[in-house]
Amino acid sequence: MNSLKHLADYGQSIWLDYLRRQLVVGGELDRLIEEDGLRGMTSNPKIFEKAIGGSHDYDVDIRALALQGNSVSEVYESLSVEDVQSAADKFRPLYEESNGDHGFVSLEVNPHLARDTEGTIKEAKHLWNALNRPNVFIKVPTTVEGLPAIRRLIAQGVNVNVTLLFGLPRYRKVAEAYIAGLEDRAGDGAPLDRTRSVASFFLSRIDVLVDPMLEKIMKGDDADADLAKELHGEVALSSAKVAYQIYREIFSSERFQKLAALGAQEQRLLWASTSTKNPEYSDIKYIEPLIGEKTINTTPPETLNAYRDHGDPKSRLEEDVEKARETLDRLPDLEIDIDEVTQQLVEEGIEKFNKPFDKLMDTLEKEMAAAKTERVDPQTLDLGEHHDDFERRLTALGEDDFSRRLWNKDATLWASDEKTQKQIEGSLGWLHVAEKMESQIDVLEGFVSEVRGAGFQRVVHMGMGGSSLAPLMFSRTFEVGENGLPLTVLDTTDPKTIGKIEESLDLEQTLFIIASKSGSTAESLAFGEYFYDKVKENKGDRAGENFVAITDPESPLVTLAQKRGFRRCFLNYRDIGGRYSALSWFGLLPAGLMGLDVSELLIRALRMSHACNSCIPAKENPGIALGAALGELARDKRDKVTFIASPAISTFGLWLEQLIAESTGKEETGILPVAGERVEDSSHYGDDRVFVYLRLEGEIDNEQERAVAALKEADHPVVTIRLNDRLDVGQEFFRWEIATATAGAVIGINPFDQPNVQESKDNTDELLKEYAEKSELPTEEALVEEGMIQVFSESEGESASDVLLAFLENAHPRDYIALLAYLPEDDAVDRALDEIRIGLRDHLHLASTLGYGPRYLHSTGQLHKGGPNIGLYVQITTQTEADRSIPNRPYTFGVFRQCQAEGDLRSLRKHGRRVIRIHLRDLEVGLAELKMTLTSLLQAQPALASN
């Protein structure tokens, strides 16, 4: 049963809050009408701007209109009118069959006219005449100035969609304006039967504003707290249910019945803003309870897909009406004035409409300027001899309807068994998280202001893997914004590093973020315990004011945050895996606190979302095309994706490492990301490489340019992606998420699980448990001790050089070598390890990677154990310096790190991986000795280079 289609059985029409050209011309709108029973659409400048800025839908028309000398506003009108006309024509048969009850498409007047009655009327009439379709609505906001415009437009036979409706008193005025307009029209002797109007009641935004007020009250332990808990999440639905009773009262009145006798139709209630913003709520919260006769629900694509998947259509709108009235009546008991709330929402709504409209005009102006010159595609794929295979793969993905099925969360793209499909379906929330986070910008900005107002001077973000890599990239890529705070990311259990961070802080003026999706990540909780204890020494029970949590609903971290009185607990969305969470609270909260333009980051991401949308064919879809290329190249043994990035954005590679390695490295296959490698002469690279050049315009490295050109000349596959500025990382997050999901389908794995990551964690837990019982850890005898180096290996040899030689002789063509460093991360160590890494690469002619532990355990660690057995792993450990105890734990950070290294070593050995451990009894001297030993060994053994 298609739940969407059955909504009509209960008198409700389902509309789509989304309109762009490719949706109409590509055939998807036809399918939605036929298969889902779609009965209408709404458009808005925000969607239009993303489609123009992120796709090629409008390139031809923009170029033609620009060359004709049209202004920006004229181009906008031409494009938007054509889109609405085309969509209205698709709905026209439904409109005629239903005698004008269904099949409408809406277009709004310039939102800057919200306070201008005459301007609104003039533009609405102009658009009505330009559209020249009976089944369209002109959107008019429900401001004081909008009410007389609604009346006069209805009197003149213009169909009106009344928007920005939040409050019940204003709804009565809207209905009055509609009826008065009909009376004026009847007085002029004009027909009433084809004049239509809907009143769009915006819902989720009410809860977004009221719920935080209730949550503050809920922190108490009195009767008000109990009442706040009872009303939490109920205000919007209660408003809608009471509004429907007002609707029934008004349109059954004697006054309206006189008009009905002349053919007048009721002004239907339309439920708008129906996507769920709060991750604790059902994704169909604003559909299921509001099904009723002669109502409309307009939803974004995600909510539409969710209801199709698990909706249960029944008539519920008139259930619990008295409870709804009571909910609204009890708000004053908590000093919440719902009329003030709704008026605030109207004022904010006007600005929320103005900003995207202005952004649209700006984007159009840039597109028009670009249209007059040759367009440079921001993504080019130079695949050489692999091009034909890539084209065949793209064709196959198109025939398989991959794009639409991806956006519909069709798990059969990756798995055939029901259990895995269920897991995948619960992991695709990243497809729409940018839209959800856009609605949280006000919350984020308000919190940033609160933090600054409280006197904080620094932020320390504490997490691992997906909860820390995006913040780490932000901290290393961007300068602190004008109103931002310096950000430090802690994602290592190295006690020396933790000590350095602590010594650099004024603890009382530092805000600490504990980030963990599960709420039980051992490292994140250990960091939190350590710094909470330090802050508590100075602030006592008020220490919680310095702490924030980011986690999933109902996780143990939520309970901890409540118990300790954290300043805030930001709940993320359950259906987003850690490595896909950059555009959620995990990435954007620290970015906002740094003072970055989070709104612009999301705008860039949403442009890419629109460029990769379900209605975009695979061959025109940048994310799918990139994923198809990477997947097909991996199938052709080009499975080492080497990133060359402009220096300013080089840290983006750390985020890509986890996304690609942890997503694809399983079932004895995978794609190895190689990040942070200096690009060299093409002769250093084997035929297992594909190169991705992330080219930051305005910050071009000429040496990189020459090297990339040489790689192309040597017939290496090269993908070039152009970023206009650093904020374009927002679009790259989304491009690469789509690409990784696509590549996973191409190589035949589930890119949304990480089955081998838990192994190392379990080994670590066993070792920590053993330490807690015995106060010591098991020891392994070194095979060789030489200077400050100890070598632990299953190979044989009497010297470090002998053992290393025996280990390296296990290398085969197309292998890779990985340095796994449980060392403090600083410039000196970086330089030493990089020199070792490059030396191994050049002599072995193998790809080489470098990962710091325990960070890599949460990223490339999955590929090491679950991917193909083509890696040689060199684990490097050192003595613990300045160890630090972890409060409420029977072990120190030094012991914790030692157990993590040993746990991973055991896991690698269990999977039959080629691994050697080198322990440095003195970090500086030991690194120098290791480098010298390897250099001498490689120079003396030229035969190794033949690999």
- Residues marked active site are found at 139
The Cα–Cα gap between 727 and 474 comes to 10
SS3 label, residue 761: helix
SS3 label, residue 424: helix
Residues in the chain: 947
CB 208, CB 304: distance < 8 Å: no
CA 532 vs CA 508, 529, 545, 634, 703: distances in Å:
11, 5, 10, 46, 47
CB 292, CB 11: distance < 8 Å: yes
Q: Which of 519, 563, 523 is nearest to 544 (CA)?
A: 563
Quick one: 330 exposed, middle or buried, by C-beta within 10 A (0-12, 13-18, 19+)?
middle
The Cα–Cα gap between 628 and 743 comes to 6
Q: Output phi, psi for 97, to 5 deg.
A: -65, -30
The Cα–Cα gap between 13 and 10 comes to 9
CA 342 vs CA 142, 236, 336, 355: distances in Å:
11, 11, 11, 20
Q: Tell me how many degrees the CA angle 574-672-944 measures, rounded to the nearest 5.
A: 155
Q: Which of 786, 803, 790 is nearest to 919 (CA)?
A: 790
Cα 337–chain centre separation: 34
In 98-155, alpha helices (H): 117-131, 146-155
Quick one: 684 exposed, middle or buried, by C-beta within 10 A (0-12, 13-18, 19+)?
middle
DSSP 880-923: --S--B-TTSSSBHHHHHHHHHHHHHHHHHHTT-EEEEEEESSH
Cis peptide before 673 (omega within 30 of 0): no
Read off the tokens for 90: 């698709």
What are the CB-based long-range contacts (under 8 Å, 24+) for 72-79?
Answer: 72/361, 72/364, 72/365, 72/368, 73/361, 75/364, 75/368, 76/360, 76/361, 76/364, 77/127, 77/130, 79/48, 79/52
Q: Output phi, psi for 405, to 5 deg.
A: -70, -35
* Dihedral sign from CA coordinates of 935, 939, 941, 943: positive
Tally of CB atoms within 10 A around 585: 27
Q: Which of 284, 285, 287, 289 is nearest to 306 (CA)?
A: 284
For β-strands 914-920 and 871-878, DSSP reports them as: parallel
The Cα–Cα gap between 426 and 309 comes to 12
b/e per residue, 121-140, with b = 16+ CB within 10 A? bebbbebbebbebbbbbbbb
Read off the tokens for 621: 């879809």
Read off the tokens for 743: 């590549």
Question: Facing residues of 694 across strands?
Answer: 645, 721
SS3 label, residue 487: strand
Name 719's Cβ contacts closer than 8 Å, sequence gap at least 6: 379, 380, 381, 382, 626, 629, 690, 691, 692, 693
State the SS3 of 627-689. Answer: HHHHHHHHHCCCCEEEEEECHHHCCHHHHHHHHHHHHHCECCECCEEECCCCCCCHHHCCCCE
